[in-house]
Amino acid sequence: MSTRRVAVTGIGVISAAGTGREAFWEGLCGTPPQGVRSVNDFDPNDWFENKKEARRTDRFAQFAIGATAMALEEAGDVGGDPIRKGVLIGTGIGGLLTLEDQIITRYEKGERRVSPFLVPMMMPNAGSAAVSMRYGWQGPCETTVTACAAGTHSIGNAARLIRSGRCDAMLAGGSEAAITPTAVAGFSNMTALSSSGESRPFDVRRDGFMMAEGAAVLVLEAWERAEARGATIMGEVLGSASTADAHHITAPAPGGLGAITCMELALEDAGISAADVAHINAHGTSTPLNDAAEAAAVAKVFGTPGPPITSVKGVLGHALGAAGALEAAAIIISFDKKQLPPTAGYGEPDPEMEPVNLVVGGPQSWEPGPTISNSFGFGGHNGSLVLAPS
């Protein structure tokens, strides 16, 4: 099997912290918004040729189209054989806005008023499919649906297709738009959401996450090919891993056992050791069980205090299947800025939890190096991605 290097040559971001590279970074380093983390500056008509096409596309797929357009603008003319270019855009839920809206329509107005576009709009693969059709990329077009690990898994799997020689370029990431009344009620009733309205990763006062929406897409290319066409290489995907807790539908395995294995396998896949890691992007959802399990896992793999750690969910909230992709984009930008974003919302350590070396208070200068990014999803899905500066 070929083991080609994988370059990142473009990123596109739509988030509650900001849309586009610079606005996103400024948001990550700024004051967290209040309440649910909705994207308030997104107009789908900016990304579609006509309003009819936009109306027939669920919001999560609209996000995927917009983020991809930004990523390809940065990457430039990727070119190449369409059959060797693919799309992997993950999601946790898919077109929930459309589904909920059409259920209400059927209930209030009858079956004949249900949109004929319901199924193609609500299906989780709509984002990947829309991007593939928009740009004519005819290679593998797939959708990873592994809850909150979907974005991370998508990028790792896309990089593997390039490393193996099957593809020369991939559009990879995640997209989510699931802030609906029913979804909020469901998460709230399972006590996963913060009752305080704040996301406080690793803080003793943490009481749940803040729901968010958004998307991030990365352009991945075979390193030699990117160099040959004169592309700006922003970073490299060194490796990734995926494991299952096989423990509980929502709670992490005690002591973070699944996360430990996942991080160790990702480092092995990347060909580096724990001592080589310069930064950890934590899943850090601000839920009591997740943060404690992740802190225990990080301590086991990296020791104490370990490398500096950030959870950008203090600002972004939790964008479910898009979270890992948004965080991968934040890492790539941090390489360029030579700064690490802070963990917003943190103020008081938890004496019952393994200590973590959190970046707090403001951006922290650093010499960019290999970074591991964690994502853990309902169902016991674990994903770890290792990125490095170019």
Of 224, 174, 236, 219, the closest CA to residue 77 belongs to 219
Known active-site residue 148: yes
Known active-site residue 153: no
Tokens of 61: 């797929």
The C-alpha atoms of residue 13 and residue 173 are separated, in whole angstroms, by 10
Is the bond leading into 351 cis (omega within 30 degrees of zero)?
no
Please tell me whether residue 348 adopts helix, strand or coil conformation: coil
The C-alpha atoms of residue 333 and residue 12 are separated, in whole angstroms, by 11
Which residue in 29, 141, 148, 262 is the catalytic one?
148
> Residue type at 324?
G
Please tell me whether residue 203 adopts helix, strand or coil conformation: strand
Residue 147 contacts residue 377 (beta carbons within 8 Å)? yes
Q: What is the dihedral of CA 120, 124, 126, 132, to 10 degrees?
A: -150
Q: Give DSSP secondary structure letters for 155-171.
A: HHHHHHHHHTTS-SEEE
CB neighbours of 154 closer than 8 A, spacing ≥ 6? 88, 89, 90, 143, 144, 172, 173, 174, 324, 325
Known active-site residue 279: no
Which residue in 153, 167, 262, 318 is the catalytic one?
318
CB atoms within 10 A of CB 116: 8
Which residue in 29, 167, 279, 283 is the catalytic one?
283
Active-site positions read 148, 283, 318
